[in-house]
Amino acid sequence: MAWPERELHPGRSARDFYGAEIRWHRKNAGGMSLAALAQIVCFSKGHLSRIEAGESKVPEGLSEKLDVAFGTDGSFLRLYELASREDFPDKYKRFMELAEQAIGHEAYETTVPGLLQTADFASAVLQAGEPFAAEEEIDDWLTKRLRRQDRLSRQPSPCRYWFILDEGAIRRPVGGPAVMVVQLTRLLHASRLQHVTIQILPFSAGAHSEIGGSLTLLTLPDRAVVAYEEGSRSGHLFEETDEVLHRQALYDLLRAQALSPRDSEAMISAALEGTTDALPRRDARPVAEE
């Protein structure tokens, strides 16, 4: 059974328009499938599907191949000049723009926040989240994620950060013990910065309002607050006062359920010690065969 094609929104952004043009030309080329086009342009079907839906940045080299495949005489190459300027899909773009301006950033996360991730940890998370993505896509996402971390050390007035992390963020061995040792060390260093607070929401807290998702509150320079909720595959930005106040109240409950910053640091230290113990010992000797 064929899966229904995703709805496109060509008027939303240059990236979305580029993707809609791919579909339009496919349909007018005898109903060409994505799989057939993927073979022609030497890109994976999954990668092309995300580009067509406006979810992935248009990579270099694709436009020329599309112009040849559809006989469009350079129109995709011209569109690329606009679409390539958009680093993020439209649904994340405004949130990212507001995050750059924020003077206060509060977030509950089920994993280590992107702003605090090491390169190896971030790479492992991205690969797990999009297991069918092309290597160049992962590299592109990783570069952008690490670049955004400059906000943590922005001077002279850095943003005030408050992170509440599910205990699973420090227990789940993402990337293996060696990667986790470096990542947990990074968390400890971040927790000691004056403008960063980290709390752990322990498993013992039980069920809560954000289980299975994440919640971010951004305080803007004019003191207005916006909220952003995200699941594994979608997110929504809330700017209406009532909606934001509701989510601020939910975040306050999470803050009350979480361990204190001092106890959270102790839990991270204990997790680091346990993970370090799990590393292969360099001086370990193989057991002699009988």
- pLDDT given at position 285: 44
What domains, with CATH codes, occur in the chain? 14-83 (1.10.260.40), 90-277 (3.30.870)
Q: Quickly tell me which residue has 């129109």 as its tokens.
A: 75
How many C-beta neighbours within 10 Å does residue 240 have?
A: 10
Please report, as a single letter, which amino acid is at residue 248: Q
| pLDDT, tens digit only, all 290 positions of the chain | 455 677 887 887 888 899 999 999 999 998 999 999 999 999 888 889 888 888 777 888 999 999 999 999 999 999 998 888 766 555 577 788 889 889 999 999 999 999 999 999 999 999 998 888 888 889 988 998 999 898 888 777 789 999 999 999 999 999 999 999 999 999 999 999 999 999 999 999 999 999 888 999 999 998 989 999 987 666 788 888 899 999 999 999 999 999 999 999 999 999 999 999 988 876 444 444 33
* Region of residue 259 (phi > 0: left; psi between -120 and 50: alpha; otherwise: beta): beta
- pLDDT given at position 286: 42
Residue 199 forms beta bridges with which residues? 164
Cα angle, residue 265 at apex, residues 269 and 101 outer, rounded to 5° = 125
- pLDDT given at position 180: 97
Task: Determine contact, residues 152/196, Cβ cutoff 8 Å.
Answer: yes
- pLDDT given at position 89: 58
Task: Determine contact, residues 126/138, Cβ cutoff 8 Å.
Answer: yes
Tokens representing residue 155 in the block: 């001077």
Task: Determine contact, residues 143/87, Cβ cutoff 8 Å.
Answer: no
Residue 252 exposed, middle or buried by CB count within 10 Å (0-12, 13-18, 19+): exposed
Tokens representing residue 246 in the block: 């509701």
Please report, as a single letter, which amino acid is at residue 99: A
Distance CA 171, CA 278 (A): 12
H and E: helices and strands count for the chain: 12, 6
How many C-beta neighbours within 10 Å does residue 273 have?
A: 11
- pLDDT given at position 88: 59
Angle between the N-to-C axes of helices 75-83 and 14-27, in degrees from 0 to 180, rounded to the nearest 10 = 150
- pLDDT given at position 280: 84
Angle between the N-to-C axes of helices 119-129 and 135-148, in degrees from 0 to 180, rounded to the nearest 10 = 130
Distance CA 265, CA 21 (A): 51
